[in-house]
Chains A and B, each alone.
Chain A
Amino acid sequence: MDVLLEAQDLKKHFGALKAVDGISLSVKKGEVLGFLGPNGAGKTTTMKMLTGFLAPTSGQAIACGETISTGNVAARRRIGYLPEGAPLYGDMTTRDFLAFVAAAHGIEGGEARDVVESAAGAVHLHSVMDQRVETLSKGFKRRVGLAAAILHAPDVLILDEPTDGLDPNQKHEVRRLIEAMSVDRAIIISTHILEEVDALCHRAVIINKGRIVADGTPSELRARSKYRNAVTMLVPRSEAEKAASAMKSIRMVAKVEAANEGDDVRLTVLARDGAEISDSIGDIAAVSNWKVRQFSVEAGRLDDVFRQVTEGR
């Protein structure tokens, strides 16, 4: 129900290179899909097919019932797109540029002024409206690109690395904006910043070598990590070795990792097959009377899952 964007077995081959090799996905209304993968995995190529810039070698993509192709203008009307690196016409002022994009979407006159103003307001561009785009900072340029992508109120938003190159404050702001827009749209963002997935995405798809290798909610993906249910604790260096060997003897413990932190050692106890080990570890620590500080249970690490599925570790 309410699937706004759908890809069916998309393939793109450049000669012998299979840049995208059979990707199927669907994004529902209100959903933010994180599109992850190492550099060169085919993220950008997939997005170029989803926006009708590239024609797929085979398979098809559909936005709001319209088949996306290089010739179908109607499909492109439903899509807002921020290409990688947010290319803009540097010689125009922000206002002129946004007005041009509005006109390209067939919005003109007073209505055009309104949508330009409201899109500019949404990403806080008012202070630079009459400045030439090429004189703007990177953060502002990215926001101009975002404003251009959203001004026609598209049902589907496709953002290729929207926060790439922004500082942490700007990243936060862009994420908040995407979140606010997600209510009645389908959004795909590509990124290789994993914290973004936690901060923003309802679902994440990881691709590698042009194929989907993982698909699930951030928590589901995290659960596949070897750090699932791992226990982390800080113990004094004098007790670390003893504690580590004691815990290794527990049957449910797979491995103990140690890292020095000043006079303390951070022990990370990995559970075998993600079993619940926190209670037993806690009991042992209490009985043995170790001076444990900071005791926490991990939900799993996305970066670990990412490496696991893209490098096969």
Chain B
Amino acid sequence: MKATLTIFRREFASYFATPVAYVFLVIFLVMQGLFTFYLGQFYAREQADLVAFFTYQPWLYLFLMPAIAMRLWAEERKSGTFELLLTLPIPMGSIVVGKYLAAVAFAALALLFTAPIWITVNWLGSPDNGVIFTGYIGSLLMASAYLAIGSALSATTKNQVVAFILAVTVCFLFLVSGLPMVVDLFSGWAPEGITLAVANFSFLIHFDNLQKGVVSFADVFYFIAVIAFWLWVNRVVVESKREAG
């Protein structure tokens, strides 16, 4: 636990060692604003809710979360600190989790900066704050799932750009498997079970449920299972890269 915290602290601080983190936060907030007000028609809807805010997040995260995760391991491997890190008396699990949590904390911070829109909607009308709260929980869970994928794939390469592209690709698959066009592709010929499985594989469906204010065990469990699986992959990949340095 203490060891995890040590790794977490170093990793989190390193996000702010360069101006990149601040640039990222600004880009995130600007994009989030654009999506909410232009694509989401926040005002035109004349509804006191944050549906416009949450609807496009899966697509926004598709690019921004891999950007947060890409350096986690690729940087270590490129600079040689991979060897330094793995010869410190810290268990592998703590290193993987500590690094991952630092990325999650950074994403959570970015999400925290969107609080003004929550305040605005409360000032304009009287929204169901419970729904908004579960929406935020769902948003953070989805971001965490993206980051778990990004972290694992970051370990596969020494090149951050390659890590980014790999992560976007895999995250994209997790995203589109719930879209009607993909589901329709299967529903014609495949048994219903498979179609359902493909659809349920998607972040979208589980995220939608949480947005509607429905906190079901299945949705939360889905995200936690995805995260756990990819952290396990992360660990396996790191172990396999010792020889490659």
Contact = CB atoms under 8 A, between A and B. Distances in A.
Contacts of A96: 13
B87 A90 contact: no
Contact of A77 (B14, B80, B89): B89
Interface in A17-71: 48, 51-55, 70-71
A83 interface: yes
Interface stretch (A98-106, A237-245, A283-291): A98-106
Interface residues of B, number: 25
A194 interface: no
B184 interface: no
A201 to B, nearest CB: 23
B18 A51 contact: no
B90 A90 contact: no
B87 A54 contact: no
B2 A83 contact: no
A53 B90 contact: no
A91 B14 contact: yes
A312 to B, nearest CB: 29
Interface in B89-143: 89-92
B242 A87 contact: no
Contacts of B86: 52-53, 70
A56 to B, nearest CB: 12
Interface string A90-126: 1110001000110111101000000000000000000
B217 to A, nearest CB: 34
B80 A85 contact: yes
B89 A73 contact: yes
A47 B32 CA distance: 50
A70 B239 contact: yes
B41 interface: no
A23 B9 CA distance: 39
Contacts of A70: 86, 92, 239, 242
A148 B242 CA distance: 21
B90 A48 contact: no
Contacts of A100: 6, 9-10
Contacts of A73: 89-91
18 contacts: A48-B83, A52-B86, A53-B83, A55-B242, A70-B242, A81-B84, A83-B80, A83-B83, A87-B80, A87-B81, A89-B79, A90-B79, A100-B6, A100-B9, A101-B88, A104-B3, A104-B89, A106-B3
**3 closest cross-chain pairs (CB), A and B:** A87-B80, A91-B17, A104-B88
Given A70-B92, A81-B87, A148-B84, 19 more contacts: A51-B87, A52-B86, A70-B86, A73-B89, A73-B91, A76-B88, A77-B89, A87-B81, A87-B82, A89-B14, A90-B79, A91-B18, A92-B13, A92-B14, A92-B17, A104-B6, A104-B89, A105-B89, A106-B3
